[in-house]
Amino acid sequence: MQHEQIDQLLKRTLSDFRLSRGEKRIVADLADEAERAGINLDFLRHRAFALGAEELRDPQSKQVLEWLEDVIKVLRPKPPEEPPRPRVYFSPGDECLNAVRGSLERAKKTVDICVFTITDDRIAEEILETADRGVAVRVITDDDKSLDAGSDISRLKSRGVPVRCDRSEYHMHHKFAVIDGETVLTGSYNWTRGAARNNEENLVAYQDSGLAGEFMVEFERLWDQFR
């Protein structure tokens, strides 16, 4: 689409100094076609104001039109910001481990952890360091797994980290954490050294407060249930 064609179409709608219903449709179609051609809608707005200004004889009126164009540019709605894309990590290897530790290091206010088991001392140490920085940390885990050899749950409790376990013949099998009400870590990855060293696992990190809110509802439900 050529710029001359745009001007010709706009001039046709300007001929009687009013925009009929049919002409509104023409302008809307013009905008769609221009967008497909990679022409910014700001250019269409600018040309419409420029053509309108040409019809004005009073210089002061033209200045008013220029003022109106500038105001409309400032008041133009901003497109909504898209949340960062989720990051995906895999094991064996240290990808998942480093993602968990990095998220804990960046925590500022709250960390709510709901995982089947914690036996990786590197993660447990990061949890303790996070709590020592004044971040409010809570942990929900499975009662049976908390008694396994190598479990770090007792150490976390002894250092003052609030921990609650299920009391059921079934497993509390969740594997998620919510950081500062905005970041969600979830996936198959168990917070164990074996998962980092041997297992085929995945961990996904989301920066999404809406999604985090849904996980927090489940966390609070379990926290109350296991009191």
d(CA 156, CA 199): 25
If you average pLDDT over residues 21-48, what whole number do you get? 87
Q: Confidence class of residue 16 from pLDDT cuts 50, 70 and 90?
A: confident
129 plus 197 within the same structural domain: yes
Predicted pLDDT of residue 1: 63
Q: Which domain holds residue 209?
A: 87-225
Q: What is the pLDDT of residues 109-132, one digit of tens each?
A: 999 999 999 999 999 999 999 999
pLDDT in tens, 19-33: 888 888 888 888 888
Residues 70, 219: Cα–Cα separation, whole Å: 49
How many beta carbons lie within 10 A of that of residue 24, not counting itself?
Answer: 11
pLDDT value at residue 109 = 97
Residue 81 included in any domain: no
56 in the same domain as 25: yes
Give the number of domains in the chain: 2
Q: What confidence score (pLDDT) does residue 98 get?
A: 97
What are the backbone angles phi and psi of residue 3, rounded to the nearest 5°?
-65, -30
pLDDT tens digits along 57-79: 777 787 777 777 777 777 677 77
Among the three residues 55, 75, 95, which one is the final residue of a domain in this structure? 75
Residue located via tokens 């302008």: 27
Q: Are residues 61 and 103 in the same domain?
A: no
Q: Are strands 201-207 and 87-91 parallel, antiparallel or unpaired?
A: antiparallel
| pLDDT tens-digit map of 166-211 | 999 999 999 999 999 999 999 999 999 999 999 999 999 999 999 9
Same domain? 115 vs 162: yes
Residue 84 has what pLDDT?
85
Average pLDDT in the 42-65 region?
A: 82
Token pair listed for 26: 């023409």
Would you please indicate which residues are annotated as catalytic (active-site) residues?
173, 175, 180
Which of 12, 44, 75 is a domain's end point? Answer: 75
Q: Which residues contact 103 (CB under 8 A, 6 or more apart)?
A: 177, 179, 183, 185, 205
Strand runs labelled E in 67-220? 87-91, 110-115, 136-141, 163-165, 175-179, 183-186, 201-207
Phi, psi of 161 (to 5 degrees): -80, 125
- List, for residues 121-167, the tens digit of each pLDDT value: 999 999 999 999 999 999 999 999 998 989 999 999 999 999 999 99
Average pLDDT for 52-58: 81
Note the pLDDT of residue 107: 98
Instruction: Tell me, yes or no, whether 221 and 196 share the same domain.
Output: yes
Please check whether residue 59 lies inside any domain of the structure.
Answer: yes
Query: Can you give the pLDDT at residue 56?
Result: 81
Domain termination site, one of 19, 52, 75: 75
What is the domain-level CATH number for residue 165? Answer: 3.30.870.10
Looking at the structure, tell me whether residues 129 and 30 fall in a common domain: no
Residue 130, in any domain of the structure: yes
Q: Which residues contact 185 (CB under 8 A, 6 or more apart)?
A: 99, 100, 103, 176, 177, 179, 203, 204, 205
Q: 99 and 66, same structural domain? A: no
Answer whether residue 80 is part of any domain: no
pLDDT above 90 for 52: no
Residues 68 and 93 in one domain: no
